[in-house]
């Protein structure tokens, strides 16, 4: 009889102990989730409750209309080190709202990938790249160009070289430059995406991270035509929505096959699949979108008044 009472008491205390532990974990788990941001429209409007800048006047992404953009004889976007293999190791991470590639060797590289030209006043060095995609092929990109929304958009994030980190750069209106590229769906695979895709299944869940087996050049991911681009001043498209970005948007799309895009659509945030991870279009307001015009002298001695507003 005593043994039975002891066993019952032991089971009761054991259940109570694990219930308390589970409750504490559950509360911590909910706290962690409360700091996430959702992409559903009714959740995007809540971003500015925790991140005031998300309600700013210079937000991204935007709709770009060719005939409304101001043509200027802008300089080409010069991509330094884009034809060199990325300095590894290359870390691929599922952060719960996208998949991000971080070349960890950038800090040790003497000549990391960088961009200058366009309306940029300095060199901007690469930091990371990530993607936005849709559940269906007719949506997914963040920017919309001439009414077209592509199924995927790639962002290559660069920080101004005079700032020591992205965190520091976010505190300045000229802190970052993000190059945006679109992907359209075709039947055949894009072989240049294979170094990324071959390990994508290993980061299916939020928080998972893996190193790629091989490196590649940034140029291999880009479309052929880089001469025409749009540029405007905007923000991060995710919280904290810092208005510190000079956007350079290239309208010529790259391609990705349906099966390759499907691998992105299998990624999970823990709560659901990561898909339609794009922000709703933001108002352009008083901002101006410029498009590169190639038939005029682009030397520094022949800048238009509009260009002078950027350079001065």
Report, as residue numbers or ranges, the catalytic residues: 97
Report d(CA 40, CA 154) in Å as an integer.
20
Interatomic CA distance for residues 162 and 174, integer angstroms: 11
- Cβ neighbour number for residue 19 with a 10 Å cutoff: 10
Kindly tell me the burial class for residue 20, based on how many C-beta atoms sit within 10 Å of its own C-beta (0-12, 13-18, 19 or more): exposed
Phi, psi of 252 (to 5 degrees): -70, 120
Cβ distance 213 to 185 under 8 Å? no
Could you tell me which of 129, 131, 126 has the C-alpha nearest to residue 84?
126
Instruction: Judge residue 288's burial from the number of C-beta atoms within 10 Å of its C-beta, 0-12 exposed, 13-18 middle, 19 or more buried.
Output: middle
DSSP bridge pairs for 131: 154
Q: What is the spatial distance between Cα 176 and Cα 124, in angstroms, rounded to a whole number?
A: 7
């Amino acid at each position: 009889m005593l043994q039975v009472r002891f066993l019952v008491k032991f089971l009761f205390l054991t259940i109570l102990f694990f219930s308390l532990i589970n409750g504490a974990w559950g509360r911590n788990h909910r706290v962690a989730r409360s700091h996430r941001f959702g992409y559903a429209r009714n959740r995007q409007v809540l971003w500015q409750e925790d991140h005031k800048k998300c309600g700013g006047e210079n937000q991204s992404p935007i709709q770009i209309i060719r005939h409304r953009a101001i043509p200027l004889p802008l300089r080409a976007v010069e991509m330094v080190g884009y034809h060199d293999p990325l300095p590894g190791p290359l870390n691929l991470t599922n952060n719960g709202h996208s998949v991000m590639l971080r070349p960890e060797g950038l800090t040790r590289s003497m000549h990391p990938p960088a961009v200058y030209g366009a309306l940029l006043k300095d060199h901007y060095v690469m930091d990371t790249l990530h993607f936005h995609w849709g559940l269906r092929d007719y949506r997914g990109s963040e920017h919309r160009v001439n009414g077209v929304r592509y199924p995927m958009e790639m962002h290559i994030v660069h920080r101004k070289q005079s700032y020591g980190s992205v965190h520091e750069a976010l505190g300045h209106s000229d802190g970052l430059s993000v190059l945006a590229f679109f992907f359209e769906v075709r039947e055949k695979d894009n072989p240049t995406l294979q170094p990324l895709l071959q390990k994508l299944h290993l980061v299916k869940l939020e928080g998972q991270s893996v190193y790629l087996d091989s490196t590649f050049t940034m140029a291999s991911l880009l479309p052929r035509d880089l001469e025409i681009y749009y540029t405007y001043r905007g923000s991060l498209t995710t919280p904290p929505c810092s208005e510190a970005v000079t956007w350079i948007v290239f309208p010529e799309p790259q391609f990705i096959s349906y099966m390759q895009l499907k691998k992105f659509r299998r990624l999970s945030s823990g709560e659901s699949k990561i898909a339609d991870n794009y922000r709703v279009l933001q108002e352009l307001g008083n901002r101006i979108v410029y498009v590169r015009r190639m038939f005029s002298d682009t030397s520094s001695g022949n800048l238009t008044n509009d260009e002078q507003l950027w350079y001065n």
